[in-house]
Chains A and B, each alone.
Chain A
Amino acid sequence: METTQVLGLITGILFGFALHRAGFSRCGLVMRGLAFRDFTMLKVMLTAIAVGMIGAAVLATFFPDYAHLKIKSLHVWGVLLGGLVFGIGMAIAGYCPGTALVGLGGGVRDGMLAVFGGLLGALAFILVYPVLEPRLIEPLNLGKLTLHEVLGLPYLAVALPMAALLVGIVVWLHRIETKAQATAGQDQC
């Protein structure tokens, strides 16, 4: 195996391990999260994003050789419609592409089925891409925009307050949940 393949495997194992321990192997966490019955999904995601946000900005600012950033282009129609379709699928299945694999590896039938559905969805997308590309991906493609570029501010000057805001939201969600649990007695999860 090549070095990048080994690195991908190691990264994946650590990622899958953490997702499994966070409770994503079954569909309940995502379903309950989207229905606001349980904030665990949001708290895990926002915490991970905040840590990654600080890390990416620190790497880019002080260790640019180690900042392999990859900004995705803002092709408005594709991102918007794709996101809307994605949200419906996420609620129906209770999985996203990563957590479906956590279900598969964790021995959960529905995770395996979601992965199979995903492989079929991938095949369908490959086949219809020539039709979709000129209509939804090419037009209104604004390029690889970032918030700090648009604002014209240094990367860290935007990343740190934004990460602080996310941490604030996490603390707020945690407080609401703890309060609700105290009044409703011991809830699940």
Chain B
Amino acid sequence: MMRVDQAMATTEARPATRRAIPPWLVWGGAIGLVQIFAIATVQPLGVSTAYPQFVGFVVDKLVPGFGETQPYLQKIGATIGWQVMLVVGIAIGALLSRLLMGWSNGNATACPLPSFWSGSKTQALAAFVGGFLIIFGARLADGCTSGHMLSGIAQLALSGFLFGAAAFTTGTLTAFLLMKRSSRVQGGER
């Protein structure tokens, strides 16, 4: 109940401040405050560890002993703790936000797509493959946008700065290449 009330308070405060404060500032600042709450209570925000923890938890139920034989699961713990609950909460928070906006207006805040991927099937495959790469890369680096950037850089950790520089280098290059490709496709030169 408390959660819903907090969420409601956030939306109610919105119309009054909306004209003066742009949304990116409101929600960027809000994420910063959530970070402070997280640090003050348990630990800084971090999302990607929860993926292997959840996978380990599920696979261990299907294949008993999996958690004990895999060194990585021994290291991070294949349990439903703060991090997995955080991840569940993120999905619930997004659902709640969309419901409060009215389901059909739900994507009103989202940006128009740049149509890197012509066709819905290609885009679906891209989402899946990209999803694979972000978690694999994040686990190799021991953190993602939240763990290494929102939290790492915010704590002045050198690992966070290196991760941010590396991720934005390939991210920008890939995005520019795809943007070029999509404009070529749209221009009909292919």
Contacts and interface: CB of A to CB of B under 8 A. Distances in A.
B124 to A, nearest CB: 6
A123 B88 CA distance: 19
Contacts of B85: 1, 4-6, 8-9, 12
Interface in B67-117: 70-73, 80-98, 103, 106-107, 109-114, 116
Given A5-B82, A136-B140, A93 B95 contact: no
A5 B178 CA distance: 40
Contact of A27 (B47, B113, B173): B113
A118 B86 CA distance: 16
A118 B137 CA distance: 10
B19 interface: no
Q: B-side binding surface: helix, strand, loop or mixed? A: helix
Q: A-side binding surface: helix, strand, loop or mixed? A: helix
A90 B120 CA distance: 18
B94 A90 contact: no
A85 interface: yes
B178 A91 contact: yes
Interface of A: 1, 4-29, 31-32, 34-38, 40, 43-53, 55-56, 59, 63, 66-76, 78-111, 113-127, 129-130, 132-133, 136-137, 142, 144-148, 150, 155, 158-159, 162, 188-189
Closest 5 interchain pairs by CB? A12-B89, A93-B130, A51-B32, A16-B93, A117-B131
Interface of B: 2-3, 6-7, 10, 23-48, 51-52, 54-56, 59, 70-73, 80-98, 103, 106-107, 109-114, 116, 123-124, 126-176, 178-179
30 contacts: A8-B83, A8-B85, A10-B89, A11-B37, A14-B30, A15-B34, A16-B90, A16-B92, A16-B95, A16-B97, A18-B27, A19-B94, A20-B93, A27-B127, A28-B114, A35-B175, A37-B179, A52-B151, A59-B39, A84-B169, A85-B140, A86-B138, A87-B168, A88-B171, A105-B98, A113-B124, A117-B135, A118-B131, A120-B132, A124-B132
